[in-house]
Amino acid sequence: MKNQVMEYASGNEMAAIAIKQIGYDLMGYYPITPSTQIAENLDIMRANGETDLVMVAAEGEHSAAGICYGAAVAGGRVINATSANGLLYALEQFPVQSGTRYPMVMNVVCRTVSGPLSIKGDHSDIMYLLNTGWPILFANTVQQVYDFNIIALKLAEQVKLPVVVAYDGFFTSHQKGRCLRFAEDEDVRNYVGKKQEEYPFLDLEHPITVGSYMNEPDIINNRYQLHLAMEEADRLLPQLFASYKELSGREYGKVEGIHCGDAQNMLVLLGSSYDTSIDAVEEMRKDGQRVGAATLHVLRPFPGKELFELIGRGDNILVADRQDSYGAGGGNLSLEVRAAMQKFGSSAKIKSLVYGLGGKDFFKEDAKAMLEWAKDLTRPDFAYYGVTAAEGSTGGVDFKAEEQPLFAPVTGDRTHIGATEAKMDEQTKQVKVTGGNLNAVTAMPGRIAPGHGACPGCGIPVNLNLLLRGIEDPVVFLFQTGCGMIVTTAYPKTSFKVPYVHNLFQNGAATLSGVAEICYRKQKRGEIPPGDIIFIMVSGDGGLDIGMGSAIGTALRGHRLLIFEYDNGGYMNTGYQLSYSTPLGAKSSTSHVGKAQYGKTFFHKDMPKIMAATGIPYVATVAESNPADFIKKAAKAAYYAKTTGTAYVKAISACPLNWNDKPATERKVIEAAVNCCYFPLYEVEQGVTRLSYDPEKSGKKIPVLDWLSMMGRTRHLQKEEYKDVVEQIQQEIDARFLDLKKRTL
Amino acid sequence: MEQIAKKSGGLRGTLESGKEYYEIRLESIGGLGANLCGKMLGELGVKYLDVNSSSFSSYGSEKTGTPVKGFIRYCQKEKEIRVHYPVVEPDLLVVFHQALLKDDGVWKGCSQDTSVIITLEPRQDQPKELRERLFDGQIGTCYGLEAQKIAMESHSRINVVMLGAVLKVMGIESLEAGEQICRDTLGKKYPDALKANLEGMRRGYEEVRLLSGKEAPGDKAGAKAGVDAKDIAEDKLAAKTADKVWGYDNAPIGGINPRFGSTVISDLSPSRQGYIPLFIKERCINCGLCHSTCPDMVFQFAKGEYKGREMMVNQGLDYYHCKGCLRCVDVCPVNALVRGVESEHPRKEYFIPNQELLRMPKYYEEAGSDGYITSESYLTEKRMEGGEV
């Protein structure tokens, strides 16, 4: 047994430690809750020089999977971590990797698949992987997360298949407890051994083709090879568990059970719930009840025989699923347990319960209730456990009065306050906006109600309000995932007083295109009243990284809608990971500052320029420090969005929490971003570029360092050692501003 | 001070009595560092108290102004902790922010066996909400300390002050273990901040005091303090949630929410950190800049007359939704909005609830808003160490 030390850590921390100890070559990733901390922890180690792992922050999970695949093909040791919709977004890549037989390891930190969007833990994501040809290990404790990460890589490289290590989001990923790790990285590395490549891709002397075009009769043979590899994994796993036991002293099997030997009633469940069931079973045993519980550490290859040997001789088995294969009469686990029990000849009565969706807590009492359910003949053999029909009043309050609307609907007759007007000037072919007076626009009824949960001083509602005060036509919203959506729509409340739909942030602009088309059609048919409606897609928190394709597609089609980006310079809704619009040098939870790293290493994306290149009629940048300009541009954008095509407006949006500055003075920080020309105010109207405000002419231009020094995330750049970094930023900003000015000529 | 440990039973007393776990629940608001406090308490158990422990927070995390719960479990060293659900019936409840005392959810699962630590305003004895609970026998022994004041004076943060208080009430004999965990967590990189935090923790440990308990003479602390039982009953009713709870029988399909604008019933005042904007109407020129910078739609403008001109006129502020960011104070060109200490203004002048409401909701519910962010902000530790903000 090798020397080990104790850690007080969470599942995500232990995964990161294992990854660091193994010494992977590359991690391709995209942050998604609750898996994000793995990359964050590794980035800290990177910044401190503890690992030389190459970390590539992709612009979406699909790309992350692609980066991983490429790196695996090229012969690297590769790791990824994801969850829920990120996993599904990348799904098509997984059979590519297993079908072409390139090993790697991916941690799947299990979370509910949207929608409605939920960030908490269940198994609705992992079950989508059952048919992808990846072996899947499932860890139910923090210790197992560490151990299985090490075993997984060895398995992957021996059978030449990519392998998943899955565990419960939050319950296992975030809860901290005591566990052990090897004292020396060497011991881990010796165990996994050196990577062997059968057909080295980068051997130019012996070129190979990967990913042939293959139909019948060949593809079935390729698939059969994959099947054989899975069978090989099934044979190998006991050996790997045994050799790992020698190393660690910890013994694992494909399945695990407690008191199953003589149990009449048994519970089968995955993940942390099994852990909790152990306590329940022990307590019931003390009362003389013959009960047991079992779990699977391997979902693929499915250990049917081992499971039968463990539980097959019981009278009643209840399989609890933390997901449902809707319409199949159970979740995937129970379907497979039923099939295995039948195959191996069990006569047990099997029932299924769907429980714990969306991270609903699983108590010891629940395990006990399920064991009672298992033997109760009057209980159905499939049901949802823990659903609520409806809860009554708690304080003698009259429901009916409470269900009356709190507000009058915000219809066009109320929003046409006559404070701002946009009109086409037929001579110049440019739109002229009048009004926009800050006092006058206070008359605009709120389309968004107060009571939202944004942090004190947050820029998102400020920017949304300025935008909306300049738009007098009725509006329909689509928000992509992000802080703006999270803080306004936490069920059962909503801040929106106008029609609103959320979609995930790969797809907002496209979704809103569909909404707009049906609106036009319904208006044409007279099914809804005629009149202009402004369709507004709102995104931020890096939503135009992963959603850029959809936004550009919409722009190229010329769909008549307004894309509004609040650029807060990071994935703030998940705890500030770097986005492509984070400034160079800024620290974030995936671009830490340390002796080996100075913060983010590439420049912020120039999204307005990208959107302008699509040839849409209107592109503008706005800032709350110039509120009248903001409101007028909103009116202009709305004009183009209802008459001509796509309009794109981008605001720089303060995030006091993650910019690490004072909420009270955010407007000054925004003003400085404008004055240093990091965020120049301009518009591109029908191909004509105009500066809205020139800090140079007004004598207000400041060096970029003045702005960077105002925020905690970039304050370290003041130090002498980062002079070069600041110089780079200044040069880039100056070059972009010069280029912008040239376009105004 | 010895009295404190004896009264609570403490960590060791509880575990030796054969109870499976000694459980702590932290009730806080994002930004006060309860998450880190919970982590330190958990780690402390495994590393220095010779027990087993586990900890997690309510996955709401450090978004400022959002309610956060922290859960810590201790058990005998040999035992594995296999339960992963929140602490339902705490042995010790720690409330980091006084505004939370009015939230019913904070008190869930408490009983005569629950010890409670709360933060106090300077020279404050017992907040009304606490007296009510004691009166009803809903909680056991109560302790309090002027955590905010101690944090400010020692240049530390409220979470280390509370950590010190928790260690005291847990019956930990010396601060040595607490000091160790502070060093481990805060690192050696910031010796100055570490010193301040150690001082804050020490003062928390020493200055936490017994407010009243089940053993207190006269027992009915509420009655002693002159609280009328009828007052209590009425206040409680007002704190109850008004809306019908949706379930599968009555919720619109697909998670659709037709209650448009319903966040307006949230009371966000607990998000404030002690300061509010005060409105000096005589100075106001109705420029609208405050309205343009307020993230929380607090300013209530209505048609009116100013200097003989018809225009929109600022009527006042909807303090239900003011989170105290003070953006408005910063932009006001004529100092018509100034910073005030909230506790000095229990009755706020120009308090105008949202004018667009068709009816006043009966109840403003819940403390703070709903959280989401699930990673610890990279700044958490930074703030802990040096407090850049």
Question: What is the DSSP secondary-structure string of A153-213?
Answer: HHHHHHHT--EEEEEETTTTTT-EEEEEEES-HHHHHHHH-----SS-TT-TTS----S--
CB A107 within 8 A of CB A149: yes
Interface of A with B in 264-283 (CB under 8 A): 272, 275-276, 278-279
Q: Which domains does chain B show, CATH number per domain?
A: 2-239+378-385 (3.40.920.10), 262-362 (3.30.70.20)
Over range A315-327, report the average pLDDT. Answer: 98
Distance, CA of A430 to CA of A685 (rounded, Å)? 7
Of A10, A438, A443, nearest to B287 by CB-CB distance is A438
Mean of the per-residue pLDDT values of chain B: 82
Distance, CA of A147 to CA of A18 (rounded, Å)? 8
Q: What is the pLDDT of residues A620-652, one digit of tens each?
A: 999 999 999 999 999 999 999 999 999 999 999
Of B263, B271, B329, nearest to A493 by CB-CB distance is B263
At B246, the pLDDT band (50, 70, 90 cuts) reads confident
Long-range contacts of B149-154 (CB under 8 A, 24+ apart): B149/B122, B150/B200, B150/B203, B150/B204, B150/B207, B151/B200, B153/B203, B154/B196, B154/B197, B154/B199, B154/B200, B154/B203
Q: What percent of chain B has pLDDT over 90?
A: 54
Question: Degrees (nearest 5) of the Cα angle A314, A317, A318?
Answer: 160
Q: What does the buried/exposed string (b/e) look like for A622-640 if buried means 16 or more CB atoms within 10 Å of the residue's CB?
A: bbbbbbbbbbbbbbbbbbb
Is B378 in contact with A40 (Cβ distance < 8 A)? yes
CB proximity A70 to B under 8 Å: no
Distance, CA of B311 to CA of B377 (rounded, Å)? 44
Please say if the pLDDT value at position A374 is more than 90. Answer: yes
Residues of chain B in contact with residue A442, where contact means CB-CB under 8 angstroms, are 288, 291, 299, 301, 312
Residues of chain B in contact with residue A286, where contact means CB-CB under 8 angstroms, are none
Count how many pairs of residues, chain A against chain B, have C-beta atoms within 8 Å: 347
Q: What percent of chain A has pLDDT over 70?
A: 98
Over range B338-344, report the average pLDDT. Answer: 90
Q: Report which of A655, A648, A586, A640 is spatially closest to residue A622, judged by C-alpha positions.
A: A648
- CA B358 from centre of chain: 31
Class of domain A4-195+213-248 (CATH, top level): alpha beta
Please say if the pLDDT value at position B372 is more than 50. Answer: no
Q: Where are the domains of chain A?
A: 4-195+213-248, 262-384, 427-744
Please say if the pLDDT value at position A38 is more than 90. Answer: yes
How many residues are present in chain A?
A: 745
Q: Report which of B364, B290, B280 is spatially closest to residue B321, judged by C-alpha positions.
A: B364
Residues of chain A in contact with residue B242, where contact means CB-CB under 8 angstroms, are 395, 397, 402
Please say if the pLDDT value at position B377 is more than 70. Answer: no
Please say if the pLDDT value at position A396 is more than 80. Answer: no
Please say if the pLDDT value at position B317 is more than 80. Answer: yes
Per-residue pLDDT, B100: 85
Please say if the pLDDT value at position A470 is more than 70. Answer: yes
Please say if the pLDDT value at position A398 is more than 80. Answer: no
CB proximity A171 to B under 8 Å: yes
At B213, the pLDDT band (50, 70, 90 cuts) reads low
Per-residue pLDDT, B63: 57
Please say if the pLDDT value at position B6 is more than 70. Answer: no
Please say if the pLDDT value at position A437 is more than 80. Answer: yes
Mean of the per-residue pLDDT values of chain A: 96
Q: What percent of chain A has pLDDT over 90?
A: 95
At B363, the pLDDT band (50, 70, 90 cuts) reads low
CB proximity A361 to B under 8 Å: yes
Q: What is the pLDDT of residues B263-278, one digit of tens each?
A: 998 888 878 878 999 9
Of B64, B291, B374, nearest to A119 by CB-CB distance is B374
Is A33 in contact with B375 (Cβ distance < 8 A)? yes
Phi, psi of B283 (to 5 degrees): -85, -15
At B188, the pLDDT band (50, 70, 90 cuts) reads low
Over range B247-271, report the average pLDDT. Answer: 89
Per-residue pLDDT, B382: 43
Which of the residue ranges A6-15, B143-152, B215-224 has the most confident prediction, judged by mean pLDDT? A6-15
Q: Which residue has the higher pLDDT, A492 or A318?
A: A318
Distance, CA of A186 to CA of A71 (rounded, Å)? 23
* Token pair 């599942």 in the structure block, residue: A11
Q: What is the pLDDT of residues A539-577, one digit of tens each?
A: 999 889 999 999 999 999 999 999 999 999 999 988 899
Distance, CA of B311 to CA of A438 (rounded, Å)? 11
Over range A166-176, report the average pLDDT. Answer: 96
B378: nearest CA partner in chain A: A589
Distance, CA of B362 to CA of B319 (rounded, Å)? 16
Q: Say if domain A262-384 classifies as CATH 3.90.550.10.
A: no
Residues of chain B in contact with residue A393, where contact means CB-CB under 8 angstroms, are 244
Distance, CA of B131 to CA of A611 (rounded, Å)? 61
Please say if the pLDDT value at position B187 is more than 80. Answer: no
Per-residue pLDDT, B3: 52
Please say if the pLDDT value at position B388 is more than 50. Answer: no
**Number of neighbours of residue A582 by Cβ within 10 angstroms:** 30
**Number of neighbours of residue B319 by Cβ within 10 angstroms:** 21
B48: nearest CA partner in chain A: A8
A587: nearest CA partner in chain B: B378
State the maximum Cα–Cα separation within chain B, in Å, rounded to a whole number. Answer: 80
Is B357 in contact with A406 (Cβ distance < 8 A)? yes
Over range A402-410, report the average pLDDT. Answer: 85
Q: What is the pLDDT of residues A495-533, one digit of tens each?
A: 999 999 999 999 999 999 999 999 999 999 999 999 999
Class of domain A427-744 (CATH, top level): alpha beta
Q: Report which of A22, A410, A379 is spatially closest to residue A192, judged by C-alpha positions.
A: A22
